[in-house]
Amino acid sequence: MQADQLRKKYLEFFKQKDHKIIPSASLVPENDPTVLFTTAGMHPLVPYLLGQSHPMGTRLASVQKCVRTTDIDEVGDTTHLTFFEMLGNWSLGDYWKEEAIKWSYEFLTSDEWLGFDPESLYVTVFEGDQDAPRDEESAEAWKKYGIPEERIFYMPKKDNWWGPAGATGPCGPDTEMFIENDEIPLCGPNCRPGCNCGHFVEVWNDVFMQYNKKADGTYELLERKNIDTGMGLERTAAMLQGVATVYETDLFVPIIVKIREMADREEFDETDRRLVRIIADHIRSATFIMADDRKIAPSNVERGYIVRRLLRNAIHSADRLGIGQGFIGELAEIVIDVYKDTYDELERNKKFILKHAEREDKKFRKTLRKALRKLNRILKNTGTITGEDAFLLFTSFGLPPEMTREIARENGIKIDMDEFHRQFEEHREKSRSATKDKFKGGLADHSEVITKLHTATHLLQAALRKVLGPKVKQSGSNITKERTRFDFTFPRKLTEEELKEVEDLVNWAIDQDMRVEREIMPYDEAIEKGALAFFKERYGDKVSVYKVDDFSMELCGGPHVEHTGEISGFKIKKQENIGAGLVRIRGVLVSDED
């Protein structure tokens, strides 16, 4: 079964179970400053898992694009990827454990759907601890639908518990499904699901959000229980196609074949194969990130830094295989061709992707050779690489610290990265998430300040369009408790007079104490009524529309005040150009005392 068939079958199955199909959200989380990318299928649904009603109802299903860099050092093994697709279905206070497990078993084993041999299916459930009891309910459901006791494993919280989005909030036990992969032998007599040897491949995870973790660390049962599931498309496709690794599926084969053609060697040892996989994974991820309509180019900060890191790691790996300049564009075109029928933004933003990919290839190769010569001199003179050396190579030559660490590891040297980070303290905020994505707060944060800033951002966009005209279109936004950051299309920075007019207009809307109303309606009706929606791919057939009198009307799923007068006041603190035709404004809340 090809990956495209798997996507379609999954959505069709849950459509038959009365689920509404929602589109993949952007890779860039909306109004979540605590994580750079959408890291899981549930990420865009956090407000609804916390209790807000979803426009499409209580049963949902999707195929969600995800980027996760926490396991980037594991890329090149049989299963780890930085970009992946997550098939998911959700119950928002609707069905519970038995239905979820019944449907999981049916979809995995029925000949009408995936047709896995039931004898190859193993599951894990939560073993219980002082916070919550052993999950016998899930175990009994599995037995009822065909899994014998010897293929049900009880696991601790670190394996079978989904924590809250932040320090507190909805959480609960999960049950995980594994397919036995005969292509990889057992690692020993104690080999079992979760041992990570590759013999048992996790393909699906049903999370039962039935507890609320409180600030004091204790757990209480939720009044409304939710279900959040996730099935990895690539891993499941590998099992369906009978291959040992995700890199041998139809999603990767065209890319892998091209890389091997480009490589200057006839035979590939294990190190070579790992390099080929790293190139394939990193080019695929970078291509998808750059394909987003937010136009994320390689840079030294935030999301752009991740794109740069992925491309530069790929270039370094390509050099080791004897692949010269120009390979990124060729591989990016293959990625676009493989996925363009599923994700039309790849074709729509193809010129942007290729321009920046090729520019980064050319730019980095100019400095890479110098950096490697410097690194080799350091090794020759001292026999080691310090954190200070890594800092110098990064700031003077643009060599990412992860690449320096990889080269050091190849030479049997361990770098003191704490020293590197001490050297780099003043830059660390700019390059946050270079090593780890964290998801806490953000979309789950419905605090008073975030709520006020969220509504103020809507007022800001409306004011910008009233002053500057319809050329203003949202490119992205980012809200923290300190400020709102709003990116929009416009050919130049605003004059001081224009900035003051925009700020005054926002404050006029606040002073009028306008009512903020939410209405759920079909997408086409919302657009016909004049609602703003610049990222169509994130919306379903029914949408949530927030209207501020006759001043503002936007599609949105975030928290809002009930009246604009609750905001008190707004001040524009800064504006800057962030690219061709893109302007960024930062604004803060002010009170009467300010």
Nearest to 368 by CA among 338, 400, 345: 400
Q: How many residues does the chain have?
A: 594
H helix intervals, 134-232? 136-144, 157-160
Pick the CATH number of 446-589 from 1.10.150.80, 3.30.70.260, 3.30.980.10, 3.40.50.12780: 3.30.980.10
Count of C-beta atoms within a 10 Å radius of residue 450: 22
Dihedral of CA atoms 553, 557, 562, 565 in degrees, nearest 10, equals -60
Q: How is the chain split into domains, by residue range?
A: 3-247, 252-428, 446-589
pLDDT-derived band of residue 59, with 50, 70 and 90 as boundaries?
A: very high
Angstrom distance (rounded) from CA 530 to CA 125: 49
Angstrom distance (rounded) from CA 394 to CA 343: 35
For residue 572, give the 3-state DSSP assignment.
Answer: strand
SS (H, E, C) 395-435: HHHCCCHHHHHHHHHHCCCCCCHHHHHHHCHHHHCCCCCCC
- Contact status, residue 490 vs residue 471, Cβ threshold 8 Å: yes
pLDDT-derived band of residue 478, with 50, 70 and 90 as boundaries?
A: confident
Strand 542-548 with 552-555, pairing: antiparallel
Angstrom distance (rounded) from CA 254 to CA 321: 18
Structure tokens at 3: 């990956």
- Contact status, residue 349 vs residue 336, Cβ threshold 8 Å: no
What pLDDT score does 534 carry?
Answer: 67
- Contact status, residue 67 vs residue 29, Cβ threshold 8 Å: no
**Mean pLDDT across the stretch 26-36?**
76
Which of the given ranges, 12-21, 391-400, 436-445, has the highest pLDDT on average? 12-21
> What pLDDT digit, counting tens, does each position of 524-552 carry?
888 888 888 766 556 667 888 899 998 99
- Contact status, residue 385 vs residue 415, Cβ threshold 8 Å: yes
Residue with tokens 């697709």: 85
**What is the pTM assigned to this prediction?**
0.76
The fold adopted by the segment(s) 3-247 is BirA Bifunctional Protein; domain 2 (3.30.930)
Find the range with the poorest average confidence among 53-67, 175-189, 244-258, 417-431. 417-431
Angstrom distance (rounded) from CA 517 to CA 535: 21
State the chain's mean pLDDT as an integer.
87
For residue 106, give the 3-state DSSP assignment.
Answer: helix
Q: Phi-psi category of 196—alpha, beta or left, where left has phi over 0 and alpha has psi -120 to 50?
A: left
Residue 72 in this model has a pLDDT that exceeds 70: yes
